[in-house]
Amino acid sequence: MRWNIDPSHSTAEFSVRHLMITNVKGRFGTLSGFVTYDPEKPAATTIEATIDATSIDTRDDKRDAHLRSADFFDVENHPKLTFKSTKVTKSGDGFSVVGNLTMRGVTKEITLDVEGPSTPTKDPWGNNRIGASASAKINRKDWNLNWNTALEAGGVLVGEQVKLSLEVSLVAEAAK
């Protein structure tokens, strides 16, 4: 069965070390995609998702503009981030999803740790829904997101490790 991402009830967030003392969080406001999922055949699950890189929001307009620039996401030339699964395996109560993440024109394999999906539930409008949470850690430099500044006291302004966190609400596609 195909399940479409409900963008108004789903989030794609990230966290990265700033000044080597705290984590700065951000999110992408626009995402879309689908999951094909049959609980009887979990290994046959496929996932495709697209995130609009221009929708980045860290609650600071100057930082967001810098992240959209060629120093980071280069949204003028690479406006989308995409993910396409290549392998899904059962892992505890959830799944391990291996797939290709493309950012800034670079495609690298990542592994998402997935909690869920939840049991299908009917919403107030009669749609079947499921939800899932996913997380991963990546090194931003693997995608040529290399910009940084050395700090006078040692270390760097922006950490290399990025924590990704996804909360996805999915709606069953109506039979055609």
* pLDDT at site 141: 82
The answer on pLDDT for 20 being more than 60 is no
Burial class of 140 by CB neighbour count within 10 A (0 to 12, 13 to 18, 19+): buried
**How crowded is residue 60: how many other Cβ atoms within 10 Å of its Cβ?**
12
Read off the pTM. 0.89
pLDDT tens for each residue of 101-111: 999 999 999 99
| Domains contained in the chain, number | 1
Give the CATH number of the domain where residue 13 resides: 2.40.128.110
Range of the domain at 129: 2-172
